[in-house]
Amino acid sequence: MRLGYCGEIHDAAMVAEAGYDFLEVNIQKVLAGESDDAAWAGTAPDPAKLAVPIEAANCLLPRHLKVIGPDRDLAALGRYMSRVAQRAAKLGIRRLVFGSGGARRRPETVSEAQADEDLRQFARLAADACGEHDVLLVIEHLNRGETNTLNTLHEARLLAEHVEHPALAVLVDSYHFGVENETEAELLALGERVRHVHVAEPVGRIEPGGHGADAVKAFDFIEFFSTLRKLGYDERISIEASWSRPFSRIGADVRRFLQQAWNEAGAGADVRTE
**Where do the domains of the chain lie?**
2-265
State which residues of the chain have pLDDT below 50. Answer: 268-271
pTM for the model stands at 0.95
Helix then strand then coil, % of the chain, to nearest 5: 40, 15, 45
Q: Report the pLDDT value the prediction gives residue 59, as an integer from 0 to 100.
A: 98
Phi, psi of 196 (to 5 degrees): -160, 155
Q: Are 198 and 167 in contact (CB under 8 A)?
A: no
Q: Report the pLDDT value the prediction gives residue 267, as an integer from 0 to 100.
A: 53
CATH number at 2-265: 3.20.20.150
Q: Report the pLDDT value the prediction gives residue 274, as an integer from 0 to 100.
A: 57
- CA torsion 102→135→70→119, rounded to 10°? -80
Q: How confident is the model over 211-253, as pLDDT tens digits?
A: 999 989 999 999 999 999 999 999 999 999 999 999 999 999 9
Q: Report the pLDDT value the prediction gives residue 166, as an integer from 0 to 100.
A: 98
Q: Report the pLDDT value the prediction gives residue 269, as an integer from 0 to 100.
A: 42
Question: Rounded to whole angstroms, how far apart are CA atoms 209 and 156?
Answer: 27
Q: How confident is the model over 83-95, as pLDDT tens digits?
A: 999 999 999 999 9
